[in-house]
Structure 1
Amino acid sequence: MNRKRLMTLVAGLALTLGVTACGSDGETSSPESATELRIGLSFGPSTLDPAKDGGGAPNVMRSLTNESLFHMNADYTASPALVSDYKYVGEGNKVFEFTLKKGIRFTDGSPLDAAAVKTWLDYFGKQPGPYATTLAIASVETEGEYTVRLNLASPSPIVPLLLSQYGNRGALSSPKSVADSDSLAKGTYGVGPYVLDPTQSVTGDHYTLVPSKHYHDPSAVRFKKVTVRIISNPSSMLRAFQSGQIDFGNLDSSTAPAAEKAGVKVMHWRSGTVVVTLGDRNGTTTKPLGDVRVRQALNYAIDRKAIAKAMVGKYGRPTSQYQTEYTDPAQDDRYPYDPAKAKELLAQAGYPDGFSMNVVDPGSMIGNWGDPTMQAVAKDWDEIGVHVKVTQATTDFIPQALSKKFSAMQWTPDTSPTSIAYSLLYAPDASLNPFGAVAPEIDELFAQGQSESGDQGAETFRKLNSMVTEQALNVPVYEYDIPWGMSEHITGVEKGSWIVFGADLGWKG
């Protein structure tokens, strides 16, 4: 996740993009007869090093420069991309082996081979990135020039998914770049149809991508240039669409209706959860949070329906659970709005007069999903005597969230696979568990589900997710949709959970 916004464990949709040339009506269209594609994103990468960056909107750009070993599909399955063959070895999901396709090169010309993959995976696991803990690799072995074997420290049934664009581990960068991490943070060295042109780019403002001389399928490189502009202000993004300055970009709930009225095509779908994660759930610095009754009280206290209507309208819906691939729809209303019940639970836990705590959120950089939502939640909590000091963080959100100065963080994770959610939030050494809070029953279910497969594993993870909701480790507020806008020239976008540009990116004329 982007360190500005780890919260979009997001990213994209499985997008096949085509663009038609403008007609004879004189309206502005994409420039230079389809030689350039212009993209607008609400935020950019915090670093170009995939091992240290997050997901979300930047993955639209990263998918053009760093193809992954596997491709994540909209249903959270993964299909081979740079891999010709793969399998688990033995039982228990502890050894995974794959063979690379031959003749593929990184954008710096070096070959994609087993040694390069080992170098990248060894590097990735040692970085302080948010996805470093999603796959525990004990060792990486190479067999011949193109076969890689992963010996896992703990079982995982979703290794192909974790070697896809989800979480960036599959977004390989060349051995030469790994040897110079400063360069890796400022350039692109992946396997992809495009490469960053630093002479035409300004970090945090705009990025220019040009065709890679070493891409394995030159016929798929259909643009002479792709420009990516970072437009954080939603109104500015809307105006960029209206004036024909961009062809594709992400809107938000406040601007999407106006964009549709202006003739911009808008698509949206269930994307993630706006949630307050109770990091100090063992009560290290805020003792009341160590009591499940207090955490449940915080859930009963918020008027999800009113907040969702005000903040996202038709681009979201209230929910009582953190959304994963195995959530139970019946749990969506597990905590209906009931302030009296909330006060009763607080009294039972020994806090009839409430308590105070500190919460950090990502500010207004993500529109209503961020601080406006947190302020609405804080107002509801104040009604039951729980007084919250809210700190808005933008560029330093993740460092703040992990600083142990805050009992909770409000953020916007995407609909994550259960394995990812656990490794990010609930494991004792999880990336986003600054207090090292423990939940033994959840740990046990996770270990069981990781070694299972098929329906058996799915049922175990459903139990895990229900337990997370019952134990009130989070205070979910609403599911959100990401509205994506596109000019009239854009065609072929499929609804899904991920937006990823790749070799199919094209222009129909």
Structure 2
Amino acid sequence: MSSNPAFRPSRRALTRAAVVAAVLPVVALSACSRAGTNTASASAAPSELTFGTQAGPPSLNPAVGDPAYGATYQWAYDPLVVMQPDGTFAPGLAVKFGYVAGSSNKVYEMTLRNGVKFSDGETLDAKAVKTYLDYLRAQKTGSLAPLLANVTTIDATGPMTVRITLKSSDPSLTFNFAQAFGLGNIASPKAVANPSTLDKSTAGAGPYMLDAAQTVSGDHYTFVPNPNYWNKDRQHWKKVTLRVIANPSSMIQSMRSGQVQAALGDPTTLSAAKSAGLNVIAPPQAMSGLNLLDRSGTISKPVGDVRVRQALNYAVDRKAIAKALYGDEALALSQYSLTGQAAYDTALNERYPYDVAKAKQLLAEAGYPNGITLESIDTTVAGLNKLMQAISGQLSAAGVTLKITTKPGVNDYVIGMLSTKYPTAVMGYGLANMASLYAGFINPAGPFNPFHYKDAELDKLYAQYYAADEEQGAALQKQINARLVEQAWSVPVVGAPLSYYTTKGITGLDATSGNSGVPWLTEIRPAG
């Protein structure tokens, strides 16, 4: 929405931010690693935890790295706000937070927790928060700076109070300051003054800190208790090792052998993890399906016709695909929100029942009685090409042929999607609320909208939503969701899970689709 500068950073910055925040929860990043060995075990009351992840961070500095949906930064950096499993927000480093009444979501205030120190001994106060957020705003790389593009000023209004003033209404700061995006991962002002120190060390106010002597970048990262941490009861481990294991099958093997006790899972190994006796936490997290990019009909006239887009939605049996690929037909998705989120509307699930005859009828009404052929692009990462093949097979029954170009990695896929050579593409977009959906999917500058398509009705609804209070905003989110469904901006098929696995003897890992499937990892602890 061009009238809202909150989501109009440079296209390069927005592309990086949105792809990291939206695609990477679905796809397993590629990195070279080895399983290695670990002395921690799954026996009763272990003192050490090894957590498996598919890739290491591009930088340990949260301001220039990619904290969104990642597994690295939470160990050393408590967020300003904690998103709970039910999707509500609780105090983190900030004990009070929210928009000033009557400000139309343009003024946000926080009161910080007393008695908090960073791992380097510096004190957390309003000046420290302002210093870090101003530093973050100035960054040219990383996924977080664009989230503060709408900020006019950040002021320390008292020793422990911070006020953020925005150029235009934006209701998303509380979510952004929580652990999913990691905008609230505040670093010490001493470290900010010499930011190169953050590349190979940590300076947060979380329960642990990096032990560089026991760390090999790209392979494993070792964290030990932060001696200055404000809540000793949350330091559940004497040592936490984050181990990079790129191959999803190798991750399962490492957990079965006791080398890894908890891990970020992969949608392609859900069944294998369950068969291995692991505890699987896998709430729906990302809208996966076929993105109908060329809604204006620039290179593909059929995609520019809403009847054709609706026909494609009727032609896909979502439950069958969800069952075949993910083992659970309940993951079928036909809207732009997940159960437990404000925009979710049960009635929208019935808008496009599987109906091949209806699909053919709409295609004929649009002038395509003999069917259509559409160019498309997908990627082999995390089995998204398998999802595309399933969609393609079902569309063929309605007379729709997908000519698919497959790219092996995320970067090539993104480049192809942005090239405007393809009117359709496979998608995996993390769902949280309508503000985060706008950032990369609806925004004319967003990577999932490369043809810069706009809808006047959506613009109007978003303008109202950004300025609304929580109750009004929830109703407007439902209206936005309904408009997207009716205009058939894409073919949502499954709510792909952001999955986590644990071995026996481990508890505390809790996530639902209501909180975007993102747990507070430092709550992982020995059972009993």
TM-score calculated relative to the size of structure 1:
0.84
1:36-115 equivalence runs, <5 A: 36-54=48-66, 58=70, 60-91=71-102, 92-115=104-127
Contact 2:208 / 2:224 at 8 angstroms: preserved in 1? yes
Greater mean deviation of Cα atoms: 391-400 or 484-493: 391-400
1:101-500 alignment, distance < 5 Å = 101-126=113-138, 127-130=140-143, 132-134=145-147, 136-178=150-192, 184-218=198-232, 220-252=234-266, 255-314=269-328, 316-324=330-338, 325=341, 326-351=343-368, 353-361=371-379, 363-364=380-381, 366=382, 368=383, 370-383=384-397, 384-396=399-411, 397-398=413-414, 400-430=416-446, 432-497=448-513, 498-500=517-519
Is the CA contact 2:98–2:110 (under 8 Å) kept in the aligned structure 1?
yes
The answer (yes or no) to whether the contact 1:301–1:337 under 8 Å persists in 2 is: yes
Q: 1:334 to 1:206 in 2, by over 3 A?
A: farther
Q: 3-state SS of the aligned residue for 1:434? A: coil
Does the 8 Å contact 1:248/1:485 carry over to 2?
yes
Once residues 348 and 124 of structure 1 are traced to their aligned partners in structure 2, the CA distance between those partners, rounded to angstroms, is: 52
Q: Which moved more, 1:157-166 or 1:119-128?
A: 119-128
Structure 2 distance, partners of 1:264, 1:346, is 46
Q: How much has 1:167 moved relative to structure 2?
A: 1.7
Distance 1:33 1:450, change over 3 A: closer
2:47 aligned partner: 35
Separation in structure 2 between the aligned mates of residue 286 and residue 194 of structure 1, nearest angstrom: 53
CA distance in 1, matches of 2:329, 2:225: 36
The one-letter code sitting in structure 2 at the alignment partner of 1:314 is: D
Q: How far off is 1:464 after superposition?
A: 0.8
Please report how far the alpha carbon of residue 249 of structure 1 lies from its aligned counterpart in structure 2 after TM superposition.
1.8
Go from structure 1 to structure 2 and tell me whether the alpha carbon gap of 1:381 and 1:10 turns closer, same or farther (over 3 Å shift): closer
Q: Matched residue of 1:412: which SS?
A: strand
CA distance in 1, matches of 2:364, 2:52: 50
Q: Contact (CA 8 Å) 2:344, 2:478: kept in 1 or not?
A: yes
* Structure 1 pair 355–236 and aligned structure 2 pair: CA distance change class (3 A): same
Cα displacement (A) at 1:252: 4.4
- CA change 1:28–1:169 in 2 (3 A) is closer
Contact preservation (8 Å) 2:42, 2:504: no
Partner in structure 2 of residue 16 of structure 1: none
- Number of residue pairs the alignment of both structures matches: 489
State the secondary structure of the residue aligned to 2:331: strand
Deviates more, 1:101-110 or 1:141-150: 101-110
Distance 1:9 1:160 in 2: 20
Aligned-residue offset at 1:310: 1.2
Distance 1:57 1:472 in 2: 27
1:105 and 1:28 map into 2 onto residues whose CA distance is: 29
Q: CA deviation at 1:48?
A: 3.4
Alpha-carbon distance change, 256 to 178 in structure 1, aligned in 2, over 3 angstroms: same
Letter in 2 for 1:73: Q
| Conserved 8 A contact 2:22-2:429 | yes
Deviation of 1:387 after TM superposition, in Å, equals 2.8
Q: Residue 307 of structure 2: SS of its match in structure 1?
A: helix
Please give the alpha-carbon distance, in whole angstroms, between the structure 1 residues aligned to 2:256 and 2:325: 23
Residues 405-464 of structure 1: per-residue CA shift (max 9 Å, x gap)? 544442333331122112232123446433332122112111112222243221111111
> Match of 1:423, as an amino acid?
A
Give the CA deviation at 1:83. 1.3
1:2-13 map, 5 Å: 6-8=22-24
Whole-Å separation in 1 of the counterparts to 2:386 and 2:478: 31
Could you say if the C-alpha distance between residues 170 and 285 of structure 1 is closer, same or farther in structure 2, counting changes exceeding 3 Å? farther
- 2 CA distance for matches of 1:353 and 1:56? 41
Instruction: Give structure 1 stretches of 5+ with no counterpart.
Output: 12-26
How far residue 108 of structure 1 moved from its aligned partner, in angstroms, is: 3.6
Give the distance between the partners of 2:362 and 2:191, measured in 1 at CA. Answer: 55
In 2, Cα distance between the equivalents of 1:99 and 1:73?
A: 19
Question: Secondary structure of the residue that 1:75 maps to in structure 2?
Answer: coil
Q: Quote the Cα distance in structure 1 between the aligned partners of 2:144 and 2:456.
A: 22
Q: CA deviation at 1:175?
A: 4.0
**How much does 1:476 deviate?**
0.5
Distance 1:343 1:196, change over 3 A: farther
Post-superposition Cα deviations, 1:320-364, rounded to whole Å, max 9, x if no partner, equal: 112242121121232223344334434444455524323233x23
For residues 143 and 366 of structure 2, the distance between their equivalents in structure 1, rounded to whole angstroms, comes to 34
Distance 1:224 1:3, change over 3 A: farther
Q: Tell me the C-alpha RMSD between the 2 structures.
A: 3.3
Q: Distance in 2 between matches of 1:166 and 1:71?
A: 9
Moved more, 479-488 or 30-39: 30-39
| Counterpart AA for 2:492 | P
Report the AA paired with residue 159 of structure 1.
L
Taking only the aligned residue pairs, the percentage that are identical comes to 36
After TM superposition, give the deviation of residue 507 of structure 1 in Å.
3.6
Partner of 2:9: none
Give 1:274 deviation, angstroms: 1.7
Shift of 1:258: 4.3
Which amino acid is 1:36 matched to?
E
> Do the aligned partners of 2:169 and 2:467 also contact (CA within 8 Å) in 1?
yes
Flag the 1:117–1:260 CA change in 2: closer, same or farther, 3 A: same
Q: Choose 453-462 or 247-256, whichever is displaced more.
A: 247-256
Letter in 1 for 2:100: V
Deviation by residue 1:123-155 (Cα, 9 ceiling, x = unmatched): 444545455555632222222333211112222
Indicate conservation of the 8 Å contact 1:253/1:315, yes or no.
no
